[in-house]
Amino acid sequence: MPTDRSTSNLNSGATSAGAARGKPARTLRRRRIAVSDVNVVDKPIMKRALGGTIVGNTMEWYDVGIFGYLITTMGPVFLPEADASVQTLFLLGTFAATFFARPLGGVFFGWLGDRIGRQKVLATTLILMAASTFAVGLLPGYAQVGVWAAVLLVFVKLVQGFSTGGEYAGATTFVSEHAPDTQRGYFASFLDMGSYLGFAIGASLVSVLQLTLGQDIMEAWGWRIPFLIAGPLGLIAIYFRMKIDESPAFQATLDAQEEAQKNPVGATADTPKGPIAIFKAYWRNIIIAMILVAAANTVGYALTSYMPTYLTENKGYDELHGTALTIPILVVMALCIPLAGRLSDRIGRRPVLWIGAISTVVLSYPAFLLIGIGEIWSTLLGLALIAFPVTFYVSNLASALPALFPTASRYGAMGISYNFAVAIFGGTTPFIIAALIVGTGNDLMPAFYLMGTSLIGAIAIYFLKESANRPLPGSMPSVNTHEEAHELVKTQDDNPLLDTDEMPFDHTFEPPTNALPIQEPARL
C-alpha cells in the first residue's frame, strides 16, 4: 500500500543535498503530489479495522446501558438504609465519577497512542474495560461488607473510566485514518451506531431480566448477570481487536519520524510532546472540539443514561417500562446514524452539525412536554424528538473531531478534548438534570439545560473548519482506487480541497537546476 514514506525520503534527500553544497538559503516552492504519495485504501484491512473498532465501542456503551438502566435496582444493594432519592443520587454520582477518571485516561492513552501506535493502545483499553465491567458483577453488597461495598463500586467504576478515556478518542482516530477522504463521515459514523446498539443491547437484556425474574430477584442477585456477561463478550471483542492493523496514516508518520532521526538536517518542526505541549499548540481547536462534544453528549446522555431514571422517578413508570420505552428509539436512531454520516460526506460536516444544534433548541421543550403527558404514545414521541438531534450530532463527531488535529498529535489532542468535555458535561448530565429538578421542582428543567448547551455548541460550529472530502491534516490524500489516485494527481492544481501546507512533506526543497524557481508568498 502506498504510504507517505516516499515523500519523506525525497524531501529529506533534497534538503540534505542543498545543505551539503553549503547553500545558506532555500528556494521555496509548493510541492506537487505524486501518485506514490496518495494512499489507496486496502478494503479488507479497512473492514477489519472498522469491525475491530466497533466492537470496543459497543462494549463500552453496553456497560453504560446496563449501569444506567440498573440504577434504581442497584441502589438498595449498595445503600439499603438510605432513602430512594439518596440511593439514586449516589448511583448517578458514581456514574459521573466514572467520567471524572476519563480525562486522566485520555491524556495517558492519547500520549501513548501517538508514541507506540493506535492498535496496541486500543487493545489495552478494551481489556481493561471488559475486566472492570465483569468485576462489577462480582462485587459484594452492603449486606456482606457494609459501606465498603459502595466504596468498591466507585473504585471499579473509576478504573473503568480510566480505560474508557482512551477508547473513543483512539477509535475515532483509528477509523478516520483508515477511511478514504470522500467517505470518512460514513465509515466513522459506524462507531456511534455500534455505541447506541450496544446501549440498546444492554437495555434489552436488563428489560428481559426484569420481566422474567422480577424486582425482588433482580435486587437479590439478578442485577449481576448483565455485568458478568461482559466477560465472554469482552473476550470476543478482544479477539477481533487484536486482528486489526495499524492505520496507514500513522504508520507513515512513524516512517517519517524514523527518517528524520536518520537525517535531521531536512527534518520538519518537532511534534508537540506531552499534553501541555499539545494544548499550547492546538488550544483553539481543542476548545472547539470540547464545546462540540459537550453539546452533543449532553443531549446523548440525557436520552440514554438519564431517561430511564427520569421516567421511573418523575413520570411514574415502573422499572420495566422506564427501560423498555427507550429501546426502540435507540435502535432506530442507531440505524439512522450511518445515513447522517453519509449525508455529511455529501453536504459537509458543518451543515449536519447545524441540524443537530438547531433541532435541539427547537425540539427539547416540546419533547419534555410530550413525555409529561404520561401516555406511552406521547412518551415515545417525546423520546424520538430528543433522538433526532442526537443522530445528527454523534454521526459527525467521529469524523469532524479527528480532522481538527495533525496525525502526529491526533490521538493525544483527541484524548484531551473529548474526555475533558465528556467528564464535565456528558457523564454529569444525569446528575445535573436530577439536581436541577430537585432544586426547582420543575420537570421541564432538562429541556432548558439541553437548549443552553446546544446554543453554546452553535458557536463552536460557526468557527469549525469544514473537513468533508479533504485529507486529514498531517496525512496524504486517501482514496478508494488507483484510478482515483491518478485522477487526483492529474487535477490537483484545480482541486480546492487539497492543501499541501497540511501534508507531511517539507516545503523547502530545491527544484531541479533546469526549473525556474517559483516563489511562495512572503507569509511562508
DSSP letters for 273-308: -SHHHHHHHHHHHHHHHHHHHHHHHHHHHIIIIIHH
Q: Which pLDDT does position 271 carry in this prediction?
A: 66
Instruction: DSSP for 222-242, please give it.
Output: ITHHHHHHHHHHHHHHHHHHH
pLDDT of residue 150 exceeding 80: yes
The arithmetic mean of pLDDT across residues 172-182, rounded, is: 88
pLDDT of residue 513 exceeding 80: no
The arithmetic mean of pLDDT across residues 503-507, rounded, is: 63
Nearest by Cα to 344 from 458, 469, 464, 461: 469
Q: Which pLDDT does position 265 carry in this prediction?
A: 45
CA distances from 493 to 28, 33, 53, 426, 465 (A): 17, 10, 36, 43, 21
The arithmetic mean of pLDDT across residues 169-188, rounded, is: 89
Kindly state the cell numbers that stand for 422: 465528556
Helix and strand element counts for the chain (H, E): 23, 2
φ/ψ of 81, rounded to 5, equals -90, -5
Hey, what's the torsion of the CAs at 364, 365, 370, 371, to 10 degrees?
70
Q: pLDDT tens digit string along 476-494?
A: 899 999 999 999 999 888 8
Q: Could you tell me where the beta strands, DSSP code E, fall in 422-503?
A: 478-479
Q: Which pLDDT does position 471 carry in this prediction?
A: 92
Q: Which pLDDT does position 347 carry in this prediction?
A: 96
Q: Which pLDDT does position 512 carry in this prediction?
A: 42
Q: Which pLDDT does position 3 carry in this prediction?
A: 41
Q: Could you tell me where the beta strands, DSSP code E, fall in 423-509?
A: 478-479
Q: Which pLDDT does position 323 carry in this prediction?
A: 73
What is the distance between the alpha carbons of residues 175 and 50, in angstroms, rounded to a whole number? 6
pLDDT of residue 355 exceeding 60: yes
State which of 22-31, 92-101, 346-355 shows the largest mean pLDDT.
Answer: 346-355
**Where do we find the cell 482516530?**
173
Q: Which pLDDT does position 253 carry in this prediction?
A: 62
What percent of the chain is modeled with pLDDT above 90? 31
Q: pLDDT tens digit string along 110-145?
A: 888 788 777 788 888 888 888 999 999 999 998 898
State which of 54-63, 226-235, 351-360, 420-429 shows the largest mean pLDDT.
Answer: 351-360
- Cα–chain-centroid distance for residue 391? 14
- In one-letter notation, the amino acid at residue 233 is L
What is the distance between the alpha carbons of residues 488 and 496, in angstroms, rounded to a whole number? 11
Predicted confidence band at 252 (pLDDT cuts at 50, 70, 90)?
A: low
Q: Which pLDDT does position 367 carry in this prediction?
A: 95
Residue ranges and CATH numbers for the domains of the chain are 42-247+272-463 (1.20.1250.20)
Predicted confidence band at 262 (pLDDT cuts at 50, 70, 90)?
A: low
Instruction: DSSP for 364-393, please give it.
Output: HHHHHHHHHH--HHHHHHHHHHHHHHHHHH
pLDDT of residue 294 exceeding 90: yes
In the predicted model, what is the mean pLDDT of the chain? 82
Secondary structure letter of residue 173 according to DSSP? H
List CB contacts of 518: < 8 A, sequence separation 6 or more: 28, 29, 30, 511
Q: Give the lowest-confidence range in 6-20, 93-107, 178-192, 308-322.
A: 6-20
Secondary structure letter of residue 147 according to DSSP? T
Kindly state the cell numbers that stand for 113: 497512542
What is the distance between the alpha carbons of residues 177 and 362, in angstroms, rounded to a whole number? 35
φ/ψ of 273, rounded to 5, equals -115, 130
- Residue 416 · residue 105 · CB < 8 Å: no
Nearest by Cα to 92 from 64, 120, 127, 129: 64
Q: What angle do CA 160, 165, 168 make, to 5 degrees?
A: 115
- Residue 186 · residue 345 · CB < 8 Å: yes
